[in-house]
Chains A and B, each alone.
Chain A
Amino acid sequence: MAEQDHFDTWERADDATRERVYADFRAFSEAVRSRGSIVAGDALDRPATARTVRPGADRAVTDGPFAETVEQLGGFYLIDVPGLDAAVELAALLPREYTVEVRPTLEVEI
Chain B
Amino acid sequence: MARYRRLDLAEDGLADAFEAAARTWPADGVPTNPGAWLLVAARRRVTDRLRAEAVATRKLPLLAVEADLSEEAQRTMADPGERGGVADERLRLVLLCAHPSLPPEAAAALTLRLVLGVPTEDLARLFLVRTTTMAARLTRARKRLAGASFSVPVGAELAARLRIVSDVAYLAFTAGYAPGSGSDVLRADGSGEAIRLVRLLRDLLPAADPEVDALLALMLFQHSRRDARVADGRLVLLPDQDRSRWHADEIAEAVTLLTPLTHAPPAPYLLQALVAAEHAIAPTAADTDWSRIVARYDELLALADSPVVRLNRAVAVGEADGPLAGLAAMEGLTAEELPGHRLPAARAELLARAGLVDEALAAYDEAIVRCANEAERAHLEERRAGRSRT
Interface of A toward B, CB cutoff 8 Å: 1-2, 6-7, 9-10, 18, 21, 24-25, 27-29, 31-32, 34-36, 38-40, 44-45, 47, 50, 52-55, 58-78, 84, 88, 91, 96, 99-106, 108-110
Contact of B372 among A61, A68, A104 (CB under 8 A): A104
Contact of A67 among B121, B247, B276, B364 (CB under 8 A): B276
B349→A21 contact, CB < 8 A: no
Determine if B302 is an interface residue (Cβ-Cβ < 8 Å): yes
A61→B262 contact, CB < 8 A: no
B173→A77 contact, CB < 8 A: no
Report the minimum CB–CB distance from B13 to chain A (whole Å).
16
Determine if B146 is an interface residue (Cβ-Cβ < 8 Å): no
Contact of A73 among B241, B305, B349 (CB under 8 A): B349
Report the minimum CB–CB distance from A74 to chain B (whole Å).
6
Report the minimum CB–CB distance from B321 to chain A (whole Å).
13
Which secondary structure dominates chain B's binding surface?
A: helix
Which secondary structure dominates chain A's binding surface?
A: loop
CA distance A102 to B306 in the complex (A): 26
B316→A52 contact, CB < 8 A: no
Contact of B247 among A6, A31, A45, A72 (CB under 8 A): A6
Determine if B51 is an interface residue (Cβ-Cβ < 8 Å): no
CA distance A109 to B389 in the complex (A): 12
Report the minimum CB–CB distance from B226 to chain A (whole Å).
8
Contact of A110 among B120, B235, B306 (CB under 8 A): B120
Residues of B contacting A55 in the complex (Cβ-Cβ under 8 angstroms)? 304, 306
CA distance A75 to B181 in the complex (A): 11
CA distance A88 to B371 in the complex (A): 11
Chain B residue with the shortest CB-CB distance to A104: B375
B259→A24 contact, CB < 8 A: yes
CA distance A20 to B341 in the complex (A): 42
Contact of B255 among A25, A59, A110 (CB under 8 A): A25
CA distance A85 to B313 in the complex (A): 33
Chain B residue with the shortest CB-CB distance to A78: B183
User: With A24-B252, A106-B375 as given contacts, are A70 and B183 in contact (CB-CB < 8 Å)?
Assistant: no
Contact of A69 among B167, B276, B311 (CB under 8 A): B311
CA distance A52 to B332 in the complex (A): 13
Most B CB contacts (10 A, CB to CB) among A10, A39, A74, A99 go to A99
A71→B238 contact, CB < 8 A: yes
Residues of B contacting A53 in the complex (Cβ-Cβ under 8 angstroms)? 302-305
3 residue pairs, one from A and one from B, having the closest CB atoms: A103-B371, A78-B183, A68-B315
Report the minimum CB–CB distance from A13 to chain B (whole Å).
8
4 extra A-B contacts, CB within 8 A, seeds A35-B263, A78-B182: A28-B262, A61-B128, A105-B183, A108-B120
User: With A68-B315, A105-B182, A108-B131 as given contacts, are A39 and B265 in contact (CB-CB < 8 Å)?
Assistant: yes
B238→A106 contact, CB < 8 A: no
Determine if B298 is an interface residue (Cβ-Cβ < 8 Å): yes
Chain A residue with the shortest CB-CB distance to B122: A63
A36→B174 contact, CB < 8 A: no
Contact of B315 among A21, A73, A104, A110 (CB under 8 A): A73
Residues of B contacting A59 in the complex (Cβ-Cβ under 8 angstroms)? 104-105, 167, 304
Determine if B248 is an interface residue (Cβ-Cβ < 8 Å): yes
CA distance A18 to B248 in the complex (A): 9
Residues of B contacting A67 in the complex (Cβ-Cβ under 8 angstroms)? 222, 238, 275-276, 279
Chain B residue with the shortest CB-CB distance to A76: B235
Report the minimum CB–CB distance from B304 to chain A (whole Å).
5
Report the minimum CB–CB distance from B170 to chain A (whole Å).
7
Residues of A contacting B105 in the complex (Cβ-Cβ under 8 angstroms)? 58-60, 62
Residues of B contacting A91 in the complex (Cβ-Cβ under 8 angstroms)? 368
Determine if B322 is an interface residue (Cβ-Cβ < 8 Å): no
Residues of B contacting A106 in the complex (Cβ-Cβ under 8 angstroms)? 121, 131, 375, 378-379, 382
Report the minimum CB–CB distance from B129 to chain A (whole Å).
10
Chain B residue with the shortest CB-CB distance to A67: B279
Contact of A58 among B103, B245, B378 (CB under 8 A): B103
Determine if B274 is an interface residue (Cβ-Cβ < 8 Å): yes
CA distance A72 to B298 in the complex (A): 19
Determine if B185 is an interface residue (Cβ-Cβ < 8 Å): yes
Q: Tell me the chain B residues, 315-371 only, with Cβ under 8 Å from chain A.
A: 315-316, 319, 329, 337, 341-342, 345-346, 348-349, 352, 364, 367-368, 371
